[in-house]
Chain A
Amino acid sequence: MIAELGHFALWMAAAASLLQSLGLLGRGIERLAVPAALAQALFAALAFSGLAWAFMASDFSVRLVTLHSHTSMPALYKFAGVWANHEGSLLLWVLVMALAGAAVALAPPALGRHFRARTLGVMGSVSVGFLVFLLLASNPFARISPAPTEGQGLNPLLQDPGLALHPPLLTIGSVGLSVAFAFAVAAMLDGEVGPRWAKAVKPWVLAAWSFLTLGIALGSFWAYHEPGWGGWWVWDPVENAALMPWIAATALFHSVALLAQRDALRAWTLLLAVMAFSLSMLGTLIVRSGLLPSVHGFAVDPASGQFLTVLIALYVGGALGIYAWKAGGIPSGESFEPVSREGALVANSLLLASMLGVVFVGTFYPLAREGFAGNRISVGPPHFNATVVPLLLVMAVLMAIGPWLSWRSSSTTHLASRLLPAGVAAAAATLIALAIFDVRSTIALLGFAAAFWLGGSSLHLLVKQAPTLGSAGMALAHFGVAVSILGATASGALQSEALVTMRVGDRVGFGGWQVELIDVRPVAGPNWTALEAEVHFSRDGAAIATLRPQVRSFTRPEMETTEAALHSLWWGDFHAVLGKPDGLGKWQIHVWSRPLIRLIWLGAFLMALGGAMAIAGKARMRLPSGRTAYPSAFDSRPVERVGPG
């Protein structure tokens, strides 16, 4: 019964989204948009709850529950199992879309009721397509009869706390970009784009971006401790599918900042807003259709690819069509000198667009190649490392300088003294890496230099020039980028690893440590049994850490998974994986030391926190006094106003 109610609620949500899309038309019907958006959110939430109930209650008469759940699973994974499949993850997608619409409907209409109705209309018309797709081609509530008494279980690789957090955060982030998309389409239709529009859209972009940042970071951390996925970032198509909207959104809120402050780059900002959500939808297509082969291809339904392709082509094509039709008519904004905050933000856009370009080309090249030349190739880390890393390094250099420049036209005389500490830090870090840690790779040395250069400058900015939450948020987010670069560089350049075979009681040297295999014994979990090794790390006889890597055996479905063991110390992680026995009492053990690796995710967390602070910083600008305390778009005050006159 609950499943039928959920199914019914989904139809009602589709009907409400259809009504909501009428908001596009204006002429009185637009008043429907707000109640329709709220109704859609309510029904989508009901539908989602219905499916969640079916999963929690192990209602195996629902086909989806049978295929992806089992009574023996812990409650957390029963619940998270809702989105660990194609239909359920799309239901989550649609739910987030509806909730974003409700948020827009409930927020004060900064640009007027008419504009809000149009925005909701765009969002409703996107929702309706995906809801129809869900109802007709991927119904999550489909029953099977007779109902089996037990389910087939969830893929054991997905039974990880990461499943509870990573997909929802990623979905909130990428689908949240639909608000900026809708704002852009509505602005193009109304021909009204300027600082007011930019200020209204900014909190939505920043919020979506912060969630997306967290979602990607959590996914990366999950991949780090899951041995089968190759590491924290391997440029897999599914990883790139999340990265591309993130890059576009990053460019978008910088460009929005420029538009809000100086009324420049109008057309480009609109294009970025359209692109960011278009890339999100494209990402959904990549992930759901299995279009590109991926190690993360779980909730895949190849049959749905065509429907999704047509749907997404319609939306993206429609939005770009409106752009092509209207963008020419958008008057160009204010002009500025090349050396200025504006110039720095333009450089940001250019670099991010280039980065987006190389990731896009690398991701889709194999598909194009297969289509035209017929042979199969794959493009992996060597390509992306050779293209993205240089761009990232150039960007880190400029990111340290940009915030110190003032709007319109900036003198450069103050830069030397502002950047001196950062320069000293970068030089010192490079020398230390070279002399003490014996790093010889040029790219790694540049990575250390860039991290300390950007980190030093951002920290300086945070302490000296961050009078509002917004400017502190920007400085903190930039600092976060530096922290992530440092983590990525150090963990790559300074890691050591050893692959050994050991009997119980054997001891081997590894780096400056001794590794001893104490025991291998069977252990049992809620729905698995495992062999667990006990591995001691010590230095000169003093115990440092005990790691317990496992090989788990699940029966439903029948599968073995390798569970890495991690142990965090102040300088980084020990990482151990238990391999296969050779049948003669020896075990394969793979151990790593990974210095500073957690900085990668700490940096991402700082970026997301900075993004959230930048939203709050905006609220502070609207003090009742009507006085804008600080003029900048991220609220960061130019250091010195050295005007042309």
Chain B
Amino acid sequence: MAAKPKSQRLILAMLALAALGGAGLLAASALGDTSTYFYAPTDLATSRPEAGRSIRLGGLVKEGSVSRSEDGLTLRFTVTDMVNETAVSYTGLVPDLFREKQGVVATGSFGPDGRFKAKELLAKHDENYMPPEVADALERGTQQMEAKAQSGA
């Protein structure tokens, strides 16, 4: 009996490790399947995710691109990072701060027809706020344009 507490401690420690290891594996495998990648229109121009894969598409709502379908339920607009553009359709209630020339992040996927269908639109609540991914995408777009301009000169 004297050795028992020690061996019990060991067993408990091993159980704990097994449980945490199991949880880690579970988390890691789920992360591979479920994490959603962020794309700007320029990223989509070079590599497009397979149809049905959920992604987040971010950029500015292009000026003059917003229109509605006949039934009034589906919204169509274009997301731009000033270099490339992606057309988006969205069925649902439009967030309060969804505006032309404002940042937007659309979560959704490409259908088999190649159109991007958004399930969720995130337009940040705060007027002064730009989602960091969008700010990033716009900066990359600008850099690319500058690089093009220089190589062209």
- CA of A386 to CA of B38, assembled, Å: 21
Cβ-defined partner of B93 (8 Å) among A351, A380, A499, A582? A499
Given the contacts A293-B131, A588-B72, A577 and B35 also touching, CB distance less than 8 Å: no
Give B42-54 as 1s and 0s: 1 = Cβ < 8 Å from A's Cβ atoms.
0000000000001
Known pairs A580-B94, A590-B93 / 4 extra A-B pairs, C-beta < 8 Å: A358-B30, A365-B31, A383-B31, A588-B73
Q: Which of B19-27, B76-84, B142-150 is near enough to bind chain A?
A: B19-27
Residue contact A561 to B96, C-beta cutoff 8 Å: yes
Residue contact B20 to A353, C-beta cutoff 8 Å: yes
List, in ascending order, chain B residues with CB within 8 A of A369's CB: 35
Partner-A contacts on B (CB < 8 A): 4-6, 8-9, 12, 15-16, 19-20, 22-24, 26-28, 30-31, 33-38, 54, 56, 68, 71-73, 91-97, 120, 122, 125-127, 131-133, 136
Given the contacts A230-B120, A376-B133, A383 and B35 also touching, CB distance less than 8 Å: yes
Residue A434 lies at the interface, judged by CB distance under 8 Å to chain B = no
User: What's the nearest-Cβ distance from chain A to residue B125, in Å?
Assistant: 5
Residue A628 lies at the interface, judged by CB distance under 8 Å to chain B = no
A331 nearest CB neighbor, chain B only: B5
List, in ascending order, chain B residues with CB within 8 A of A559's CB: 96-97, 125, 127
Given the contacts A376-B38, A588-B93, A391 and B72 also touching, CB distance less than 8 Å: no
- CA of A387 to CA of B127, assembled, Å: 35
Given the contacts A380-B34, A590-B92, A358 and B132 also touching, CB distance less than 8 Å: no
Report A292-351 residues with CB < 8 Å from chain B CB.
293, 295, 332-336, 346, 350-351
User: What's the nearest-Cβ distance from chain A to residue B26, in Å?
Assistant: 5
Q: 3 closest pairs, A vs B, by CB?
A: A354-B23, A382-B34, A501-B72
Residue contact A332 to B96, C-beta cutoff 8 Å: no
List, in ascending order, chain B residues with CB within 8 A of A357's CB: 20, 23-24, 27
Q: Is the interface of A mostly helix, strand, loop or mixed?
A: mixed
Interface centre among B12, B33, B72 (most CB of A within 10 A): B72
- CA of A579 to CA of B98, assembled, Å: 12
Residue contact B27 to A353, C-beta cutoff 8 Å: no
List, in ascending order, chain A residues with CB within 8 A of B96's CB: 228, 551, 559-562
Interface centre among B9, B26, B127 (most CB of A within 10 A): B26
User: What's the nearest-Cβ distance from chain B to residue A618, in Å?
Assistant: 27
Residue contact A358 to B23, C-beta cutoff 8 Å: yes
Interface centre among B28, B31, B36, B37 (most CB of A within 10 A): B31
User: What's the nearest-Cβ distance from chain A to residue B6, in Å?
Assistant: 7
Given the contacts A366-B35, A499-B93, A559-B96, A295 and B122 also touching, CB distance less than 8 Å: yes
B18 nearest CB neighbor, chain A only: A350
Residue contact B73 to A350, C-beta cutoff 8 Å: no
List, in ascending order, chain A residues with CB within 8 A of B37's CB: 375-377
Residue contact B15 to A350, C-beta cutoff 8 Å: yes
- CA of A376 to CA of B133, assembled, Å: 7
A-B contact pairs, 29 of them (CB 8 A): A332-B8, A333-B5, A335-B4, A335-B5, A346-B12, A346-B15, A353-B16, A353-B19, A353-B23, A358-B23, A361-B24, A361-B28, A361-B31, A369-B35, A375-B38, A378-B36, A379-B34, A382-B30, A383-B34, A383-B35, A386-B34, A387-B30, A499-B92, A501-B73, A561-B96, A577-B93, A579-B93, A582-B68, A586-B72
Count of chain A residues near B, Cβ 8 A: 55
Residue contact A350 to B16, C-beta cutoff 8 Å: yes
Given the contacts A350-B15, A350-B19, A499 and B68 also touching, CB distance less than 8 Å: no
Residue contact B126 to A155, C-beta cutoff 8 Å: yes
A362 nearest CB neighbor, chain B only: B27
Residue A29 lies at the interface, judged by CB distance under 8 Å to chain B = no
User: What's the nearest-Cβ distance from chain B to residue A587, in Å?
Assistant: 9
User: What's the nearest-Cβ distance from chain A to residue B1, in Å?
Assistant: 9
Residue contact A354 to B95, C-beta cutoff 8 Å: no
Partner-B contacts on A (CB < 8 A): 155, 157, 227-228, 230, 265, 293, 295, 332-336, 346, 350-351, 353-355, 357-358, 361-362, 365-366, 369, 375-380, 382-383, 386-387, 390-391, 499-501, 551, 557-562, 577, 579-580, 582, 586, 588, 590
List, in ascending order, chain B residues with CB within 8 A of A501's CB: 71-73
Residue contact A354 to B22, C-beta cutoff 8 Å: yes
List, in ascending order, chain B residues with CB within 8 A of A380's CB: 34, 36
User: What's the nearest-Cβ distance from chain B to residue A451, in Å?
Assistant: 22
* Chain A-chain B contacts (Cβ-Cβ < 8 Å), number: 131
- CA of A586 to CA of B28, assembled, Å: 47
Residue contact A355 to B35, C-beta cutoff 8 Å: no
- CA of A295 to CA of B125, assembled, Å: 8
Residue contact A293 to B38, C-beta cutoff 8 Å: no
Cβ-defined partner of A557 (8 Å) among B8, B34, B127? B127
B9 nearest CB neighbor, chain A only: A332
List, in ascending order, chain A residues with CB within 8 A of B8's CB: 332, 335-336
List, in ascending order, chain A residues with CB within 8 A of B22's CB: 354
Residue contact B36 to A362, C-beta cutoff 8 Å: no
User: What's the nearest-Cβ distance from chain B to residue A361, in Å?
Assistant: 4
- CA of A580 to CA of B73, assembled, Å: 10
Given the contacts A227-B93, A387-B27, A157 and B125 also touching, CB distance less than 8 Å: yes
User: What's the nearest-Cβ distance from chain A to residue B133, in Å?
Assistant: 5
Given the contacts A293-B131, A332-B5, A335-B8, A379 and B36 also touching, CB distance less than 8 Å: yes
Given the contacts A157-B125, A228-B125, A295-B122, A334 and B20 also touching, CB distance less than 8 Å: no
Residue contact B93 to A562, C-beta cutoff 8 Å: yes
Given the contacts A350-B16, A499-B91, A358 and B5 also touching, CB distance less than 8 Å: no
User: What's the nearest-Cβ distance from chain B to residue A445, in Å?
Assistant: 21
- CA of A355 to CA of B27, assembled, Å: 10
Given the contacts A295-B122, A361-B31, A588-B72, A377 and B38 also touching, CB distance less than 8 Å: yes
Given the contacts A378-B38, A383-B31, A355 and B93 also touching, CB distance less than 8 Å: no
User: What's the nearest-Cβ distance from chain A to residue B12, in Å?
Assistant: 7
A582 nearest CB neighbor, chain B only: B72
User: What's the nearest-Cβ distance from chain A to residue B90, in Å?
Assistant: 11
Residue contact A354 to B125, C-beta cutoff 8 Å: no
List, in ascending order, chain B residues with CB within 8 A of A586's CB: 72
List, in ascending order, chain B residues with CB within 8 A of A228's CB: 95-96, 125
User: What's the nearest-Cβ distance from chain B to residue A549, in Å?
Assistant: 10
- CA of A582 to CA of B37, assembled, Å: 33
A333 nearest CB neighbor, chain B only: B5
A378 nearest CB neighbor, chain B only: B36
List, in ascending order, chain A residues with CB within 8 A of B24's CB: 357, 361
List, in ascending order, chain B residues with CB within 8 A of A332's CB: 5-6, 8-9
Given the contacts A376-B133, A376-B136, A380-B36, A579 and B5 also touching, CB distance less than 8 Å: no
- CA of A379 to CA of B30, assembled, Å: 10
Residue contact B73 to A499, C-beta cutoff 8 Å: yes
Cβ-defined partner of A354 (8 Å) among B5, B19, B35, B127? B19
